[in-house]
Amino acid sequence: MTRNEYTPIHIGLLGHIDAGKTAIARCLSEVVSTAGLDKHPQSKKRGITIDLGFTFFPLDEYMITLVDAPGHADLIRSVVSCANIIDLAILVVDAVQGPQVQTGEHLLILDILEIKEVVVLFNKIEMVNPEQISILEGQMKQIMQATRYKTQYKTFNVSAKQNRGFGVVKDYLLTTIKSMKIKRVSETPLHFLFDHHFNKKGFGTILTGTAISGQVKIGDELLILPPKISTRIKSIQKWKENAQFVVAGDRCGIAVTQIDSNRIYRGCFATNEGDKYKKAQIFEIQVEELALFQLGCKFGQSINVNHGMMALNARIFPFYTLQKSGQRYPVAFHPPRSKKKYRAILWLATEEYIRDSDVFLLSRLDLSPKALRIMGSAKIKKVHFNPPLLNKIKMKHGIVTKLNYSPNTVIVEGLAASLKGAQSILNLNAEPPYDKIVSSFGQKGNVEVRVNKTQLNLLSSGQNEVELQLFKDIKLDYSKSYEKIIPQ
């Protein structure tokens, strides 16, 4: 078989720093791609992976691309980028150190982005004894309980230093891939996430990445978003061999007519149907917080958002909907820590191109790497092109001063401070046992409130305090603080 005849499969290689991921990639792989292992100058200087690395090897009828993601706590963006383009994942744990905070974070990212299969490799097995391995297995079992993988993961003991244990890993990967029945979506518009780009004399600009959906061929027009650059495909390579087309699932390099490389960056993508994407900055979302995230969310809080390979800053404004007098009011609130599902307005710092089916990953990277920083996920429910109005609830309290002003009304003072204030609350409904505010009374803010006869009898027994629930507009502003507006 030529390389282009293989079925492409993408496997993420994740794990905490110094677990040995890059060494494992070298043990498994046969070919290093242009965006290979630890090529970044800082990777060599610091001795750690700081960018995605790509290698590949054949496995039966499949061509496996290993996506090596950095394990350093500060580089979580690259882990999310990896999870966006893979079919399954290998999670590497240093058998000496055991699972770390990043082990859990990486698992949760895989879970949120719905990666169905995870294989766990205990590396550096030559440095531990059977009792330590048993402890490791127990620790991983406990961590997995908070994820979808609690009953469907497999562990293997390997040594990258001795190149030992990888034959059985490959056998298991092959069996797993065949059982997954992975389906590619090629009938939809092209969504090509590229992770590296560079200019090459005589070829133009090279974009290397993964086709998430769709298909294109040499000569087709492409649009690069967000910068909105139009270009054309000059040539294509898959696994270092020339090809005529790109189809969903392909890891490839696309040479396009030369463009200004300074205008494109990690997070950009290419498509052949730009009108299928909406450009927006403000979204109504359904949030699903992780059960393990215990810090909660405050109205107006700054958070981090990952969308595809893009890392974005944002503010989040949770709300719930309250129905009152036949109207629906979106009310701003701080969700209690026990509430893990709620609606919110998400306001990105910059505009982003999205599809209706897209999912945002939410995190708090301002927290210590020793704490869980992954908040959860958000599905887009609505796009707003202007900041929507939310409401806050304000309670006003008054006292009945005339109990039998008319057969079914009383006079109340304290709900307003002036005639103008009284007129502003006319026709609003007070809290039971009172009813509608029907008119102002005098010049000092007193009002006439309707009450039926049964309720009047209750009032004569001493229930003479009146409450009025008001809904005040909140105008959202990305740069404004809301600590005093929505108190804890």
Kindly report the CATH number assigned to the domain that includes residue 447: 2.40.10.190
- For residues 270 and 224, what is the distance between their CA atoms, to the nearest angstrom? 4
* Mean local confidence (pLDDT), 99-124: 93
Cβ neighbors of 454 (< 8 A, separation 6 or more) are: none
Confidence label for 36 from pLDDT (cuts 50, 70 and 90)? very low
The answer to whether position 481 is within a domain reads no
The answer to whether position 480 is within a domain reads no
Q: Are residues 85 and 124 in the same domain?
A: yes
Between 202 and 149, the more confident residue is 149
Q: Are residues 301 and 400 in the same domain?
A: no
Q: Are residues 268 and 290 in the same domain?
A: no
- For residues 241 and 243, what is the distance between their CA atoms, to the nearest angstrom? 6
Query: In total, how many domains does the chain have?
Result: 4
> Which structural domain range is residue 200 located in?
191-276
Cβ neighbors of 114 (< 8 A, separation 6 or more) are: none
Average pLDDT score, the chain: 89
Exposure string of 202-227, with b = 16+ CB inside 10 Å and e = fewer, is eebbbbbbbbbbbbbebeeebbbbbe
Max mean pLDDT among 22-36, 71-85, 436-450 falls in 436-450
Q: Are residues 162 and 196 in the same domain?
A: no
Give me the CATH number covering residue 232: 2.40.30.10
Q: Are residues 375 and 427 in the same domain?
A: no
Q: Is 278 a residue whose pLDDT tops 60?
A: yes
For the chain, the first-to-last Cα distance in angstroms comes to 65
- For residues 81 and 110, what is the distance between their CA atoms, to the nearest angstrom? 11
Between 424 and 72, the more confident residue is 424
Q: Are residues 60 and 172 in the same domain?
A: yes
Q: Are residues 297 and 349 in the same domain?
A: yes
Using the 3D structure, point to which of 357, 386, 415 is the last residue of a domain: 386
- What is the arrangement of strands in the sheet containing 53-59, beginning at the earlier edge strand? 31-32, 53-59, 62-68, 7-15, 88-94, 118-123, 153-157
Sign of the Cα pseudo-torsion (76, 79, 84, 85, in order): positive
Find out whether 251 and 11 touch, Cβ atoms under 8 Å. no
Q: Is 50 a residue whose pLDDT tops 60?
A: no
pLDDT of residue 120: 97
Range with the poorest average pLDDT among 32-41, 328-337, 388-397: 32-41
Exposure string of 34-44, with b = 16+ CB inside 10 Å and e = fewer, is ebbbbbbeebe
pLDDT of residue 371: 85
Using the 3D structure, point to which of 147, 180, 213 is the last residue of a domain: 180
Q: What is the pTM of this model?
A: 0.86
Find out whether 210 and 251 touch, Cβ atoms under 8 Å. yes
Strands (E), 369-436: 374-384, 389-406, 409-413
Q: Are residues 245 and 284 in the same domain?
A: no
